[in-house]
Amino acid sequence: MEETRDSLLGEPKNQQTEPVVGVRMKRQLTLTNGVAVTVSVIIGSGIFLSPKGVLQGTGSVGLSLVVWALSGVLTTLGALCYVELGTTIPKSGGAYTYLYEIFGPWVGFMRMWQRLFITGPAATAVLAMTFANYALYPFFAPCPVPYLAVRLLAAACLGLMTFLNCYSVRMTAQMNNVLTCLKVGALGIIIVFGGIQLARGHTGNLEPTKAFEGTTSSIGDAAVSFYSALWAYDGWQTPNYVTEELINPKRNLILTTMISMPLVTIVYLLTNIAYFAAMTPAELLTSDAVAVTFANRLLGVMSWIIPTAVAVSTFASLLIGHMAFIRSYMVAGRDGIMPRILSMIQVDRLTPAPAVILPVLTHCYHWY
């Protein structure tokens, strides 16, 4: 009867709706790993650098805090839209996968190759160089860090990142859990010392009568301030790049978003309040590294903690961001958009080693 039905419908017997795969990525990322991945990629160097850009665009302390809050709301809404896409199209790869499935191979092709040769190398270079600068800062301050030392340490960072992602997905995720706790703890130090300043009466910048003094009337400046804040929130889409490796993604994708986005928004707001408790808007605008200025003013001999925290934060973002985003190369190789070798998985470690290695080589070629 089954054979007759298949022949009448013109369907081959025992047709498979999905290709049979002998080796595939293992579902081993828990809800905790998902939250840590999101928080780690979002909290990179942005919160240590962006407050200056936001304040420049808004012109006042009060409006800058409003921009930080609204940016958190906007990114949460974007993340929820991504959750719907991730549960409807349960494949890894993030934006590439959705463009490929909805608009076809040509759009997916353009997305992946521009990421491989343009946006990927640029983002990796910025994060690696930022990590190296802040990691070396305590050893050379107050002198500038030698450029060659920065390049060498950045290259070593890329090598370590590549090794960890090739060696074990689980170990990389667990290391990221630890690094995420450290970076949130560093922001907690800033928040605590800012709270101490407020308790001592340093509330002038935050008083309702002064908070909105100097507010800009330019829509263009306000847009620039939102750009700076939204850059600091970038990374909310990261869990969708590892959908196939999340345990129970239909449940954990939404929980990851609902836990991580409010957490990041609250931490960002409290951190900015702490900055304004320690320095005036004019002092913040003249600072090249707001968090470092904050540390030098309030932490004394322990001020090295903040540059080190920025380095740890940036390395964690680079490590786990690479783990997530190279999944799009793996899926594109599986779809035939990129070379098939990128879809191959190391049989013992169950890691997408070719997809990890090739983009890093491309980045280094462009970088150096």
pLDDT tens, residue by residue, 248-273: 999 999 999 999 999 999 999 999 99
The CATH number of the domain holding residue 325 is 1.20.1740.10
Q: Is residue 2 part of a domain?
A: no
Q: By mean pLDDT, which of 59-68, 136-145, 346-355 is the weakest?
A: 136-145
Report the pLDDT value the prediction gives residue 289, as an integer from 0 to 100: 77
Q: Which residues of 198-225 are buried (b: 16+ CB within 10 A; e: fewer)?
A: beeeeeebeeeeebeeebbeeeeebebb
pLDDT at 106: 93
pLDDT digits (tens, 9 = 90+) for 108-121: 999 998 888 888 88
Q: Where do we find the tokens 């590549």?
A: 162
Q: How far apart are CA 31 and CA 327, in angstroms?
A: 19
Q: Identify whether 15 is part of a domain.
A: no
Q: How much is the average pLDDT of 117-145?
A: 85
According to DSSP, the residues that pair with 115 across neighbouring strands are: none
What mean pLDDT is predicted for residues 220-238? 89
In a domain, 12, yes or no: no
Read off the pLDDT of each residue in 223-246 and give the average, rounded to a whole number: 91
Summarize the confidence of residues 169-183 as an average pLDDT: 92
**140 pLDDT higher than 50:** yes
State both tokens at 33. Answer: 């790993």
Does residue 81 sit in helix, strand or coil?
A: helix
13 band by pLDDT with thresholds 50, 70 and 90: very low
Quick one: pLDDT at residue 20?
42
Bridge partners, residue 29, by sequence: 246
Which domain does 199 fall in, by range?
A: 25-367
pLDDT of residue 22 exceeding 90, the answer is: no
Instruction: Say which residue, 3 or 258, is predicted with more confidence.
Output: 258
- pLDDT at position 301 is 77
Whether 8 maps to a domain, the answer reads: no
pLDDT above 90 for 282: no
Residue 18 lies in a domain: no
Stronger pLDDT, 157 or 5, i.e. the higher one: 157
Q: Is residue 14 part of a domain?
A: no
Q: Does residue 45 fall inside a structural domain?
A: yes
How many domains is the chain partitioned into structurally? 1
Per the DSSP assignment, residues forming a β-bridge with 246 are 29
| Rounded alpha-carbon distances, angstroms, from residue 299 to 133, 189, 280, 290 | 20, 10, 17, 14
- Cβ neighbours of residue 217 under 8 Å, at least 6 residues apart? none
* pLDDT score for 12: 42
- State residue 144's pLDDT score: 84
Q: The whole model's pTM is what? A: 0.86
290 assigned to some structural domain = yes
